Amino acid sequence: MRGARGLVAATPLLLLSCLLAGAPAAAAPSPSPSPADGPAQPSPPANMSTVGGERLGLPGVQIAPLAGAPALPESTSSRAWIVADAETGDVLAAKNAHWPLAPASTIKMLFADTLLPKFDRDTVHKVTPENLAELGPGSSLVGVKENLTYTVHDLWLGVFLRSGNDAVHVLSAMNGGKEKTVREMNEHARRLGAADTHVVSPDGYDAPGQVSSAYDLTLFARSGMQKPDFREYAATVRAQFPGLVKKDKKTGKSERETFEIQNTNRLLTGTPGLEPYKGLAGIKNGYTSKAGFTFTGVAERGDRVLLVTTMHPEEGGVRVYEEAAELLDWGFAAADRVEPVGELVAPRGARDGEGKNTDDGPGGEDAGVARPSGPTASGAQPSSGGAGTALTALAAVLAVLGAGAYGMRRDRPPGAAAARPGRGPRRPAVLGSPENPGPAEPPRRAVDGPDGAGGPAEPGRPGSPADGS
């Protein structure tokens, strides 16, 4: 009996052993990510827009290299990026180009492209408390104060250089309010072919449902850089901004103070550990706690002008600029050694010369030449051949886009020099200022605001540049 009971007791174990022996080995469970690894990175949608070409709607890196093409930078960690030829619209390479992501302050490019033509730069506006009532906590500010007057030119300097949400809200109020401005921005995005973009807040402050894509941001930059004022503001390194009104103790007269503001675009101004990028002519950087870091830039080298957008790199700090610079370097080296994987589409009406994206002034010898009134990257880096050369080329390249040049493509063998139809001889851009021709000082670092890419500016003083904004 004892033996029988032992056999009965052992039977289940024997059966289990037989079953396990005959069954295939089970796959080892995937290790759970440790807290040190951080949260799992999101994946791009399986189905994205195909505006500009089928390949641009595919997830992952899209590139069509020819013989001798250099390899893409291995260290690029941005969730989405794009490198495109500003003249032809050819997309040289891209990664998740149509992934809708939080854009941060790079959406201010669309804000400027929508509103810049509406107001004369010399128009004066007195700021009311209502103009600044809807600013989000932690917003990046240039230092606009209620009950004081500012010109439209002052406000645009605040938008482009300091990414000032206060300046954005004042201009929105002048335009009829936030809701009207947001509606017009979304309408303008549709005209430009930007199907991934939905604007909720005109300043780029984090808002539910507010998204754009690397492709769309590049469209906004290309459209904006056709406007002389946009080019001017995007390339300005430093400027004087109106401060408080104070009474002189000796004379008894009230005088308006000014303070210096500097551009937060680190590829334009440089920062410790990061040199200004040669040939860069702007455009816009951004940061919020949800969006992380975003950047769109335009640069000229030789006879070529490239656009780059990078969104959400894995690291913070200056990494978004480093990745943009690496992609620009690759683009200039690879432009004639890759087949385009897509194109930047023309805005509605551009092929018939009816688009709103041409220079506002009449044609002539100086038409399309940038005309900054304050110190710019050219003055800041006189030996770099930087923004001055770039803006001259951009003025010539981009001014023709609204007249039907979107359909133009270069047909040439790889490595052949690019012909530039309709391009006259280069002239130096009208940049810089005799009053302040020296280099820009390295920006002072500041702690980023929680949701607005930088803390508020102190009253009557420039706010120290945040790492994004």
Please write down the HEC assignment for all residues of 412-440: CCCCCCCCCCCCCCCCCCCCCCCCCCCCC
Eight-state DSSP code of residue 453:
S
pLDDT in tens, 342-391: 999 999 866 444 433 333 333 333 333 333 333 334 333 332 333 443 45
The domain made up of 87-407 is a member of CATH 3.40.710.10: yes
* Per-residue pLDDT at 378: 35
Asked whether residue 433 carries a pLDDT value surpassing 80, the answer given is no
Q: What pLDDT band is residue 147 in, cutting at 50, 70 and 90?
A: very high
Q: What pLDDT band is residue 395 in, cutting at 50, 70 and 90?
A: low
pLDDT in tens, 188-233: 999 999 999 999 999 999 999 999 999 999 999 999 999 999 999 9
What letter represents residue 242's amino acid? P
Asked whether residue 119 carries a pLDDT value surpassing 60, the answer given is yes
* Per-residue pLDDT at 41: 74
* Per-residue pLDDT at 39: 56
| C-alpha span between 132 and 141 (Å, rounded) | 11
- Residue 273 contacts residue 174 (beta carbons within 8 Å): no
* Per-residue pLDDT at 113: 98
* Per-residue pLDDT at 291: 83
Burial class (CB in 10 A: 0-12, 13-18, 19+), 97: buried
Cα–chain-centroid distance for residue 284?
4
Work out the percent of the chain whose per-residue pLDDT is above 70: 66
| C-alpha span between 161 and 138 (Å, rounded) | 18
Q: Please choose, from the candidates 291, 286, 388, 409, the residue with its C-alpha nearest in 3D space to the C-alpha of residue 344.
A: 409
CA distances from 356 to 93, 224, 315, 346 (A): 28, 10, 38, 12
* Per-residue pLDDT at 26: 38
- Domain layout of the chain by residue ranges: 87-407
Q: What pLDDT band is residue 111 in, cutting at 50, 70 and 90?
A: very high
| Residue 58: half-sphere exposure toward Cβ, Cα within 13 Å | 11
Q: Active-site residue among 108, 227, 284, 356?
A: 108
pTM here?
Answer: 0.75
CA distances from 294 to 20, 78, 213, 311, 438 (A): 53, 9, 10, 4, 29
What letter represents residue 178's amino acid? K
pLDDT in tens, 16-58: 343 334 443 333 444 444 444 455 678 999 999 999 999 999 9
Q: Active-site residue among 49, 78, 95, 105?
A: 105
- Residue 114 contacts residue 185 (beta carbons within 8 Å): yes
Q: Active-site residue among 163, 172, 213, 378?
A: 163
Residues 6+ apart with CB under 8 A from 455: 138, 140, 446, 447, 448, 449, 463, 466
pLDDT in tens, 407-417: 333 333 333 33
Is-catalytic flag, 163?
yes
Mean confidence (pLDDT) of the chain = 76
Is-catalytic flag, 105?
yes
